[in-house]
Amino acid sequence: YTYPYTLKHYDNITNNFPRGLFNYVQIVTLFDERPFEHEFFMRLVQAFPFLKDLTITNLEPQKYKQYSNSNDENQDFPIIEYPHLTYLNLFEIHDDYAEQFLLDTKTCFLNDIHLSIDGDVLQRVTQNFTKDATRNNYSKVKTLYRYQSVDLSKYC
């Protein structure tokens, strides 16, 4: 017998996070050098049903993407609902993770969101805020923190 995990934070989760139910955890950080696929986020929302604050760091593109015409984008994936999520921090990410959360064919936010994201990634994924599939989720963004990535190698 093991005692339930009662901490509110679970940091640096990778693709190999342990199965289980973490009812007390509200803040999660994800980091991996392998891609997080849609199925991973389905497991995540089931394991952390009261997730409020999610931070993702992953520069690897997703491998398993559904490619179809623009009217039927990603319809083979079940839409993931985040019932308590209010803070989404997308730091040092591949564009696929912005799509994972901003496309309404993959994700549904039930609350207003405070979003932190690289401004260039946001513009690409939303196609300068004209892409229909991002409008529903982007309309849930209450506060937007845009930052600009800087390539420091040119200064060294």
**What's the farthest any 2 CA atoms get from each other in the chain?**
55
Structure-token pair, residue 133: 């599939």
pLDDT band (50, 70, 90) for residue 150: low
* Range 4-26 average pLDDT: 93
Mean pLDDT over each residue of the chain, to the nearest integer: 90
- Nearest residue to 59 via CA among 40, 35, 37: 35
Q: Quote the pLDDT of residue 74.
A: 45
pLDDT band (50, 70, 90) for residue 66: low
Residue 88 predicted with pLDDT over 90: yes
CA distance 27 to 8: 6
